Amino acid sequence: MDIIKNCIRDIPDFPKPGIVFKDITPVLRDPVVFRAVVDALVEQHRADQFDLICGIESRGFLFGATMAYSMGVGFVPVRKPGKLPYKTLRESYALEYGTNVLEIHADAVTPGQRVLIIDDLLATGGTARAASNLICMLGGTVAAYGVVIELSFLKGRSQIENAPVRALLSY
């Protein structure tokens, strides 16, 4: 995991003063490190039983879609408002620095499907909880959550108690 950790850079005061942003773009730029992240996420979730991978906008798309391809399952995007062209369901959530809304297509998950939620970062848990709520509204079940980075001091796991959470790195 050191190869991954060494590629993540801290950006102080982004997106607002007092926040230290964990920037993964150097991970994406390096093909060896990017492959190591995707391979590690796939390995962490290989034993989970799921039908779809849900990637949360926007960095969750990068890892989730790549994992879905590698694992031979479908991919479902959860996006910010106004980005999906079909009928959507919507869920509001709190961030460590504000609020936002996520949307999912109304036909993205069918009742009974099990979904793995992937994102780059788990902070307060609001984004993951919102994605989980959307999946449940459609009749799906969250099988697990996977993230590259967990900011454990923000206690985001306490917001998402319905399935296991796995992080490659914890700060």
Catalytic residues: 59, 96
Distance CA 109, CA 96 (A): 28
**Helix H or strand E segment including 67:** helix 59-71
Q: From 44, 41, 171, select the one nearest 119 (Cα to Cα).
A: 41
Q: From 164, 133, 169, select the one nearest 152 (Cα to Cα).
A: 169
Pairing outcome for strands 52-56 and 114-122: parallel
Bridge partners of residue 93, in order along the sequence: 100
| CB 136 within 8 Å of CB 165 | no
- Phi and psi (nearest 5°) for 106? -65, -20
Q: CA 67, 119, 79: angle at the middle one, nearest 5? A: 100
